[in-house]
Amino acid sequence: MARFAGKTVVVTGSGRHKGLGQGILQRFADEGANCVVSDVVVNAETEEVAAELRRRGAQVATVACDVSDAAQCDALIAGAVAAFGGVDFIVNNAGIGFMMKPFLEVDPADWAKVIAVNLSGAFYCSQAAARDMVKRGQGGRIINIASQAAKSAFPHLPAYVSSKHGMIGLTRASAMELGVHGITVNAVCPNHVTTALGAEQNAYFSKLLGFHSVEAYLANMAAKNPMGRPGLPGDIAATCAWLASDDAIYITGEAINVSGGEEMH
């Protein structure tokens, strides 16, 4: 029997091809979970993500949600409940990481947007999902996609770094209160993962750091990693699936590096 048969997972920021959210959903679909695909809008790309999950045998619902709006987060969970009866797992994957500027040039509106999506959005979705989990009385798992930037600093990303550090605080604070309900809360901290968002960062930082090409920048990153490569969506998806499994029932409040050991460099 599939490990997550009869369970439902919601993954925010998952409506884009070749994105981290899609990779996470694919793993849960392969293990039998009902899947809720959610992004700011539900468009043709989102529907193709959903169609691919159905080809894997999953039951799928699509729900539009701007996670910076608490009411929309409530509606996302309500939509999942209407489709499948409840939420067992939520992966807070929606995020903004492309507003890259020197600290002295960051616009207050850009700062507010990054914090609203990356940190407040994770709070709103976690709270809405936890309310359903508590009501149903069957426990649940909340998984926050943080970043290597949740534990380290990077230039030209002050809002992003701050939001991801805050996500670890949110993880720990919510874990302390939700454990009594059988709900675990953990964060996953990837290094650079090869997605469309990663491509934007590659282009920016290869120029900032003086590399003659994006390929040279990526080769330098790989050389500094003990595993010899950047992260892949499947690396993160496997960790999320483990945290959702019974094997991780006693793990909560943790921020787990999934980085190939890059932070040891």
Q: Tell me the catalytic residues.
A: 160
In sequence order, the 6+-apart residues with CB closer than 8 A to the CB of 94 are 12, 13, 21, 38, 39, 40, 65, 67, 117, 118, 121, 122, 125
**Exposure b/e, 158-182, CB count within 10 A at least 16 = b:** bbbbbbbbbbbebbbebbeebeebe
Name the DSSP class of 94: -
For residue 171 the two structure tokens come to: 């993880």
First to last CA, the chain: 41
In sequence order, the 6+-apart residues with CB closer than 8 A to the CB of 39 are 12, 13, 14, 15, 16, 21, 46, 64, 65, 94
Question: ∠ at Cα 81 (178, 51), nearest 5°?
Answer: 115
Task: Specify which residues 185 forms β-bridges with.
Answer: 142
For residue 262 the two structure tokens come to: 């890059």
The tokens 């960051």 sit on which residue? 106
Count the helix, strand and coil residues of the chain and give each as a percent rounded to the nearest 5.
50, 15, 35
**Distance (Å, whole) CA 32 – CA 49:** 16
- Residues 29 and 56: beta-carbon distance below 8 Å: yes
